[in-house]
Amino acid sequence: MARVAVVGSGLAGFTAYQTLRRALAPGEIAVFGTDADPAAVWRVRAAAIRQRQMRSESDGHTSPTSFPGLAFSSVRGRRSVRPLLDSVLDRYHPTVDEFLAHVERLRERSGWDESLVLRRVERVAAVDDGFELDGERFQHVLLALGHPGLNVPDELRDDPRVVHSYEPHEYAPTVTVVGAGLAAATEWLNALAAGAEVVSVRRREPARRPLNVPRQYFTRRGLAGYHRLTPRERIERLRSLTAPSYPAGAQWDEPLEHATQEGRFRVEPSLNGSAQVICATGFRRGFRHDPLLARLVAEHDLETADDWLVLDPDSTVPRLSDARRTLAVAGAPAQWAFPAADTLAGARYAGHRFLGRIQACPTP
């Protein structure tokens, strides 16, 4: 009988699973999810914005240890030591194809399919010494539920021209892109490359930085400082980190300058008569949008702060984790513990701490 459960079969659940497999056999772990392929959801979104390279740096993979990541297999595939050199400097961005092949390899090797239960979990309830997932009992549970859906501004919901950037689409001759983060910037260039005339509608000027969440929050020291913030300060910090940004660099600026001169790119304050409106407006945010989390919070009176579920620094739910049982969270809903929770490095952080708690717990 499995005593450990992971709810969510996406990349965060998969990354945590790889860490759990260091200490547990596939038969000891049950993964509840909606897709057998851990990259199923991600693959569609990355393809929709024509992503070819990973956004994350060298630690953006699903193995249990950060280094060397994908560098060794890329060295073999590309017949070049460049990936390894870049990896040492933490500046290596594997291609999406290299990343997906790595996920496939680990899926086969790790016993993922043996642990998988293709079923959506509706309810997690704390019981003595553990949790019931729709009536089935486990001692330790990791919730890796992903984002609770794509965000489309209310006023655009019924507009037939609208498509979300993370849904499959082609480009009309005139395109308005709403938003100003990395997905929006990618879509400006995609639509321009497809020959479209592009209007950018944005509420705020985007910041220019290499990663959504600055590197300091991936370090032990930066994280310790973050964990010392008061709840109010932490809410403000998380709000500032979720503001739109995309990397600096000529590969972004030159095509935009060129298209601006040609009259094919401009910024406007509001929607116009474009044939297509692409909402690069990210995801719905906050535990209230996820039915499982909203119910968990309401039924167990869990602590929350604004949109966030309050977690301990090790990504566990304080009131429901003790010496006998663990309820942990990975992925976007775990930002309270790790600001970059919605990255592969963030999933690894949650997975390692989850395993640490399991190993510190006596087996009943």
Q: Does 144 bind ligand FAD (CB under 6 A)?
A: yes
Q: Does 308 bind ligand FAD (CB under 6 A)?
A: no
| Cα–Cα distance, 174 to 265 (Å, whole number) | 10
Alpha carbons within 13 A on the beta-carbon side of 342: 18
Q: Does 186 bind ligand FAD (CB under 6 A)?
A: no
Is the CB of 30 or the CB of 259 nearer to ligand FAD? 30
Q: Does 7 bind ligand FAD (CB under 6 A)?
A: yes
Q: Does 12 bind ligand FAD (CB under 6 A)?
A: yes
Q: Does 87 bind ligand FAD (CB under 6 A)?
A: no
Q: How many residues does the chain have?
A: 364
Q: Which of 4, 5, 6, 41 binds ligand FAD (CB under 6 A)?
A: 41
Is the CB of 55 or the CB of 357 nearer to ligand FAD? 55
One character per residue 314-353, x = contact with ligand FAD (rule: CB under 6 A):
-----------------xx---------xxx---------
φ, ψ dihedrals at 98, nearest 5°: -60, -40
Task: Give residues 275-294 in contact with ligand FAD (rule: CB under 6 A).
Answer: 292
How many residues line the site for ligand FAD (CB under 6 A)? 34
Shortest reach from residue 122's CB to ligand FAD, in Å: 7
Candidates 275, 314, 18; CA nearest to 172 is: 275
Task: Give residues 112-141 in contact with ligand FAD (rule: CB under 6 A).
Answer: 120-121
Q: Which of 25, 27, 35, 81 binds ligand FAD (CB under 6 A)?
A: 35
The secondary structure of 258-295 as a DSSP string is HHHHTT-EEEESS--S-SEEEE---B--SGGGSHHHHH
Is the CB of 219 or the CB of 260 nearer to ligand FAD? 219
Q: Does 151 bind ligand FAD (CB under 6 A)?
A: no
Q: Does 163 bind ligand FAD (CB under 6 A)?
A: no
Is the CB of 37 or the CB of 197 nearer to ligand FAD? 37
100-104 own/partner pairs: CB under 8 Å, 24+ apart: 100/39, 100/43, 101/73, 102/61, 102/62, 102/63, 102/70, 102/73, 103/11, 103/14, 103/38, 103/39, 103/62
Q: Which of 145, 198, 328, 361 binds ligand FAD (CB under 6 A)?
A: 145
The number of beta carbons lying within 10 Å of the beta carbon of residue 95 is: 16
Structure tokens at 171: 């480009």
Shortest reach from residue 114's CB to ligand FAD, in Å: 17
Is the CB of 211 or the CB of 259 nearer to ligand FAD? 211
The structure tokens 């809903």 sit at: 333
Which residues sit opposite 208 in a β-bridge?
246
Is the CB of 70 or the CB of 172 nearer to ligand FAD? 70
| Cα–Cα distance, 243 to 182 (Å, whole number) | 11
Is the CB of 143 or the CB of 361 nearer to ligand FAD? 143
The secondary structure of 190-252 as a DSSP string is HHHHTT-EEEEE-SSPPEE-SSSS-GGGGSHHHHHHHHTS-HHHHHHHHHHHTS-EE--SHHH
Residue 239: what residue type? R
Is the CB of 39 or the CB of 277 nearer to ligand FAD? 39
Q: Does 302 bind ligand FAD (CB under 6 A)?
A: no
Q: Which chain residues interact with ligand FAD by CB under 6 A?
A: 7-13, 32-35, 41-42, 45-46, 49, 51, 54-56, 60, 120-121, 144-147, 166, 292, 331-332, 342-344
